Amino acid sequence: MTIHGHDAVGLWNALAMITAGLLLTTFKVHSRREAAAQGSLITGGKGPLPLSAEAEATNGKPHVIDWSAERSGGKRVAVNVTEQRALLEDIGARLETGRGFTVATLNLDHLVKLDRDPAFRDAYLTQSHVTADGNPIVWLSRLAGRQVELVTGSDLVLPAARLAAAHGVPVALFGATPPVLEKAARALEAAVPGLAVAARIAPPMGFDPQGPAADAAIAELATSGAGLCFLALGAPKQEIFAARAAAQLPAMGFLSIGAGLDFLAGTQTRAPRWVRRLAAEWLWRLAKDPRRLARRYADCLAVLPRHAGQALKARRD
């Protein structure tokens, strides 16, 4: 196989991240062994202290991802969208016929959360479409022998909105704050002539996607006339809400887009295209918000070696 251009850059980027993950995992294992030895002394020789939830997340966890997309049997998450074009064709057909759908965009942060959050796993298993949102997910899929495209939630907003307008389907915006929703709605309507934004729903602080506020939001969506809802709640809230709402509104489509509304409103700035082509958007984000993202990205790096091993095993099997 010959690798060209930004594919080669992406490959080396992924290999570097996996190597960093191996080093970080080795450090964590060494640290746990030291802590266990100290715990044995502290507990009077009764053995090591119990592993923390974080330690358990990187040791002995079941395979929650089917990188081959052939053996999940509905019990493991799989990237089932191989290219954006095919996804948009299916979304268009569903909007035309009034069939609902849910789109989740898998990234490394989601892999960490899938290990730790049973409700998130259950919600992911109900998603009708799962894309590879992040170059590491693309390369893990390729390690398993599958060719998939990078398809991010933010990159789906305008194409999906155009499809909704073409089929006369109003949309709803759910997430962020009222000012952000207003700016995002104006930007969408300006970019997509004929698009109708039927609802703008800003969730309350501490929104629980399984609580009464979620029920109220579902009821508002049901009476809004919208057939497509852009969810900008962040993971795991948006995927959990999508699973719950889709069960009650089977004719509506739900597209999880993370910070997509903030990008439209101009309240957050996405990495330049050249940074994304170098598969370095994560570095861009880290540089802009190191305090919030440093721990998250360390956790992401730590799970990479395990998933790389699972992907290679799926290829051999």
Interval 199-222: pLDDT, tens: 999 999 999 999 999 999 999 999
Spell out a b/e string for 244-282, using b for 16 or more CB atoms within 10 Å of the CB, else e: bbbeebeebbbbbbbbbbbbbbeeeebbeeeebebbbbb
**Which range, 38-52, 183-197, 289-303, has the best average confidence (pLDDT)?**
183-197
Q: Give the percent of the chain with pLDDT over 90.
A: 69
User: In sequence order, what are the residues at sequence separation of 6 or more whose Cβ sits closer than 8 angstroms to the Cβ of residue 120?
Assistant: 110, 113, 114, 235, 236, 239, 240
Look up residue 231 and give its DSSP letter.
Answer: E
pTM of the model: 0.82
Q: Provide the pLDDT confidence category of residue 27 given band limits of 50, 70 and 90.
A: very low
Q: Provide the pLDDT confidence category of residue 224 given band limits of 50, 70 and 90.
A: very high
Nearest alpha carbon to residue 262 among 177, 200, 190, 194 = 177
pLDDT of the residue at 62: 60
Q: Provide the pLDDT confidence category of residue 278 given band limits of 50, 70 and 90.
A: confident
Residue 122 has pLDDT above 90, yes or no: yes
pLDDT of the residue at 32: 44
Nearest alpha carbon to residue 114 among 299, 257, 317 = 299
What mean pLDDT comes out for the span 135-155? 96
pLDDT of the residue at 271: 86
Residue 266 has pLDDT above 90, yes or no: yes
Tell me: the pLDDT tens digits for 226-243?
Answer: 999 999 999 999 999 999
What is the Cα–Cα distance from 243 to 269, expressed in whole angstroms? 29
Nearest alpha carbon to residue 310 among 131, 114, 83 = 114
Please state whether the peptide bond connecting residue 236 to the residue before it is cis, i.e. omega within 30 degrees of 0. Answer: yes
Nearest alpha carbon to residue 58 among 311, 236, 313, 301 = 301
What mean pLDDT comes out for the span 29-41? 38
Average pLDDT, the chain: 85
Determine the 3-state secondary structure of 105 from DSSP. Answer: strand
Nearest alpha carbon to residue 84 among 97, 108, 103 = 103
Measured CA distances, 26 to 55, 63, 113, 301 (Å): 12, 20, 21, 12
Determine the 3-state secondary structure of 193 from DSSP. Answer: coil
Q: Provide the pLDDT confidence category of residue 15 given band limits of 50, 70 and 90.
A: low
Tell me: the pLDDT tens digits for 46-101?
Answer: 333 333 333 343 345 567 899 988 766 678 999 999 999 999 999 999 999 999 99
> Which residues on adjacent β-strands are paired with residue 173?
200, 230
